[in-house]
């Protein structure tokens, strides 16, 4: 009897909050589910992790996993505002041990956000900082690839190609097929921009085959759209006709306005070549879709090859990086010595 009484008293003094226990379990389950969906359906991951929740119930490790997964899902869907919010959330914990453990993916995410937001020079410095902290060959390949992408946007094409080749060599040695597919695609983009369309097609075919083998839906869409563009430039109608249905189906199911806008342009060009009449409504949609395309160099390419054929006039300014100061939160990352990073040379990464 005394034992039962003491137990009841203990429950009164230290009540069990069932809702807290359920919430912790639910959040843990949601996180695991979002991580599972990330590579196959990032829109589902974004939906799961964007719901209002009390993240203070998570452990420190889970909190970082939550926001890093949210950042990766947002990146796939080109949602920069959600990316930035999660980056800010992680930076508020910059003194945590977990921040140090995850410094490379955090800096990588920040570098990509800066690039997509137009802060190209700062993006490159941030990615280089991540490279200097990195100890894993697989991450090294991804970081070199990101640095090469920024270099392309800075019109440093020779530097970009050199960086891609270094990354490709490591990926081949380590048998990192997913990274090899990305590198092949990006080398194709550079070849296409330099009017080496046949070479670009070869890169895109290789990238698409590897993305399909790895069941990488996002990569499949990107390399597929790029290959469709190469087909159109060469007027390879049969190749376009065979590939277009599957890529169109995947792209429509993938909520990324930039990729959907690109594909709409390509499919419209193909339809016109098949004799379909271009209406004013379609022309208006072409202009709207064009403005949704996030990559300005891609805009230049589409305008160059297809605008006249579509009877559309688009004025494009030269691509420039943001001249204004980057977000103040960037300077809070004390793990990067910004002054020393400006003297970094690619050879130092070997």
Residue 317 confidence (pLDDT): 66
CA distance 144 to 6: 63
Residue of 233, 263, 243, 267 whose CA lies nearest to 251: 263
Question: How sure is the predictor about 6, in pLDDT bands with cuts at 50, 70 and 90?
Answer: very low
The Cα angle at residue 150 between residues 145 and 152, in degrees rounded to 5: 95
Residues 28-46: what's their mean pLDDT? 92
Backbone CA torsion sign across 295, 300, 304, 310: positive
CA distance 229 to 214: 23
Lowest mean per-residue pLDDT among 62-76, 171-185, 320-334, 336-350: 336-350
Residue 326 confidence (pLDDT): 82
CA distance 221 to 257: 13
User: Is residue 7's pLDDT more than 60?
Assistant: no
Residue 78: is it exposed, middle or buried by C-beta count within 10 angstroms (0-12/13-18/19+)?
Answer: middle
For the chain, domains (ranges, CATH) are 80-87+98-174 (1.25.40.10)
User: Is residue 181's pLDDT more than 90?
Assistant: yes
Residue 206 confidence (pLDDT): 96
For the chain, the average pLDDT equals 88
pLDDT digits (tens, 9 = 90+) for 221-233: 999 999 999 999 9
Lowest mean per-residue pLDDT among 130-134, 168-172, 254-258: 254-258
Question: How sure is the predictor about 10, in pLDDT bands with cuts at 50, 70 and 90?
Answer: very low
pLDDT digits (tens, 9 = 90+) for 294-336: 888 999 999 999 999 999 988 776 655 566 678 889 988 888 9
Residues 216-220: what's their mean pLDDT? 89
CA distance 87 to 71: 8
Question: Phi and psi for 72 in degrees, rounded to 5?
Answer: -65, -40
Residue 133 confidence (pLDDT): 94
8-state DSSP, 332: G
Residue 262 confidence (pLDDT): 97
Residue 217 confidence (pLDDT): 87
Residue 320 confidence (pLDDT): 57
Question: How sure is the predictor about 284, in pLDDT bands with cuts at 50, 70 and 90?
Answer: very high
The percentage of the chain sitting over the pLDDT mark of 70, rounded to a whole number, equals: 90
């Amino acid at each position: 009897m005394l034992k039962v009484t003491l137990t009841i008293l203990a429950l009164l003094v230290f009540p069990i909050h069932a809702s807290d226990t359920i919430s912790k379990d639910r959040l843990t389950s949601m996180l695991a589910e979002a991580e599972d969906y990330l590579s196959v359906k990032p829109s589902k991951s974004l939906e799961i992790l964007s719901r209002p929740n009390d993240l203070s119930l998570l452990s420190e490790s889970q909190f970082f996993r939550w926001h890093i997964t949210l950042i990766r899902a947002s990146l796939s869907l080109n949602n920069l505002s959600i990316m930035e919010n999660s980056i800010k959330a992680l930076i508020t914990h910059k003194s945590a041990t977990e921040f140090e453990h995850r410094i490379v993916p955090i800096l990588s995410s920040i570098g990509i956000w800066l690039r997509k937001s137009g802060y190209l020079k700062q993006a490159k410095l941030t990615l280089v900082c991540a490279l200097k902290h990195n100890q894993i060959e697989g991450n090294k390949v991804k970081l070199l690839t990101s640095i090469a992408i920024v270099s392309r946007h800075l019109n440093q094409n020779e530097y970009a190609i050199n960086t891609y080749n270094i990354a490709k060599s490591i990926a081949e040695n380590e048998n990192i097929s997913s990274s090899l597919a990305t590198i092949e695609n990006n080398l194709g983009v550079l070849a296409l921009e330099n009017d080496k369309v046949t070479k670009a097609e070869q890169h895109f075919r290789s990238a698409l085959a590897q993305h399909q083998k790895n069941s990488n839906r996002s990569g499949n869409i990107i390399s597929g759209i790029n290959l469709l563009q190469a087909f159109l430039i060469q007027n390879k109608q049969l190749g376009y006709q065979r590939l277009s249905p599957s890529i169109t189906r995947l792209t429509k199911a993938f909520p990324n306005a930039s990729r959907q806008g690109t594909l709409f342009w390509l499919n419209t060009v193909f339809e016109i070549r098949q004799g379909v009449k271009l209406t004013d409504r379609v022309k208006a949609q072409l202009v709207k879709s064009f403005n949704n395309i996030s990559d300005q160099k891609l805009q230049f390419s589409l305008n160059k090859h297809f605008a006249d054929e579509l009877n559309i006039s688009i004025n494009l300014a030269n691509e420039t990086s943001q001249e204004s100061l980057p977000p103040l939160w960037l300077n809070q990352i004390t793990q990067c010595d910004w002054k020393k990073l400006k003297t970094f040379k690619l050879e130092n990464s070997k």
